Structure 1
């Protein structure tokens, strides 16, 4: 057996020069950031499409007009998850001040995360097949269904001809994508990478599947209070949809063109629990490997971390595991928040949404509160921000993501 690990790579910062978001908090980064800062309960409501299934509420994107945002002719061919990805990517590229008509597309990559792909389209077209026969099934079913098309459609929209892929690590997919994108910059394979995650699975089959597992909150009489990470009364997560896209560049390239840098992705770590298909390792041993790898990658120590954007699903097992992990590795100094209290759990997009919020936290020196944290679980002895945003300098932050199959992915972001 080897006695030493591989040599540590030189620290590498990827500049976040653009952010685009489509979430249950609203369409566009300003709308989502404002909703997360307010933390006025969960952005959940009864969803007509979920009528008749055990849990009929979820966090859906309000007022999303795909035709207006990406064009009617494009919109009808795309699954809703792909529509989200394209809309968020267009916002992010514009926010970065980049003009796709003038870049070398061969040097621009796209890496997005997606856990389930076009579940809504699959479900709808299966109903068509069952009720009216195969002749009525859309010829666009497969392009709407397969997860890789989110990256494919984004590339088509902006002329990105570099590496193009989708990561699927369950609820860690968006975080895995951002970490992978950073490696493409570090290796020299790309000069710009459009990265993040997308998901739209607030549909009967997916909601029922999670409900049958006992994973969803059953606060039918209070959807706005249903997602409550770290609270004594938490009883499961709230299913959500959305997307977030970040534009990453090498720091030197961003500086050379005078770009605004919102934050930097300075470290990334990934690991597996090798424990259980759906339950996390109770002590977070696998997740700890990912956190420590992100710290080592950034060349930072645990005491350097000021803030943790937690996975914080509002499930009894995950929140307790994450508490033990944070206490053991980072201590009790960092402030902690979970935006799932507001936005719900967007599965494969969650890590990307949380990476974007972490970047905004660093940029604005403001930690958004955890919604619905009325009575913090006494066993969760962390400094969880609640009730109101907390102002103050945040120099380095960790964003955690964990998924089924024991997938763990952690980003370390630093202030620009």
Structure 2
């Protein structure tokens, strides 16, 4: 809980120097600027495949961990679980242990009950407010937004987002809790397809614990039916009834049972992490299979290979991507014009994005001979684009009257764009090309 909440609350406040023209927030989803910053990485809208790749990796990671160890994501890292644990911790601090809370719940509304409930709900609302506040800090400069919030000058979208997240966190973590996992979350239904008889999950050794009875009673098993495992379960299930859809593999029942077994002098592990194959072997008196053999099997190795493959592909694409983004669109109406001297001219709309943190000059050229190139409003075939901006350029290509290019119906060509070197970019500059066509008179 400390680790996951620490990452969530602290990350927007980490600074990262990108120069004067870029934000200095390490992790920022800049919707206004249509960019995503993650430390030294900058993702533009046309590079959404990086985000898609990360989502694929997240899905494969869930498949991998579920196949190997059950719903460990749900039990240890799911936001609903983490915030519910925090709310329960606050509840325990204010209202006492489980028995005290049950007595308080059943008691009449006295001054003491009102005081405790009011204090608990106030702290819960504070947690919800911090949750919503931390979320919106990921989408704009965190210190600046914090000042605007205290000055009551923040954008209405920020206030509405904070209100929605505050109320949902308060209701989901404080009151609905396991109902969200059981009825609203689709993952418990999907996880069944990810698990098999080799998956390590939580199970009750009924061959050792049954029949239940008082400690030391003749003919009974190790389970004394104290219900400690049921009382600590955040999902309200009895693991002794067997594996169930609602179990989130949090392990609290294991800790509670081990504590009781220690007190009555019985071996720990009555409730433990087990695979179905372990149950069969233990019933037959055989030694359990080592945990690493459950984890390292063809299914999990395949998920690991796929997960690693996507990650490697993203890293390679990240290092090979160009710092120039350009699109070339021939103007179709008309496809060409004939000038007074018979020259055939085509017009192209160019969108050129400078992805560096400094202004940059770009030079245009054609890979094939025989073309004249001009840029509207410029004496030379070059333009300067401000840092992190997109320029809209009108470019003209012409072919002399009577030339093969002018007589041909259609000619393929390659347009080259070369960017000058910057202090932030590659030492020798960069160069990209776009294939397009030149339309002649034909015939």
- Please indicate, yes or no, whether the TM-score normalized by the shorter chain is above 0.5: no
Specify which structure has the higher proportion of helix.
Answer: 2
| Structure with bigger gyration radius | 2
For normalisation by structure 1, the TM-score amounts to 0.20
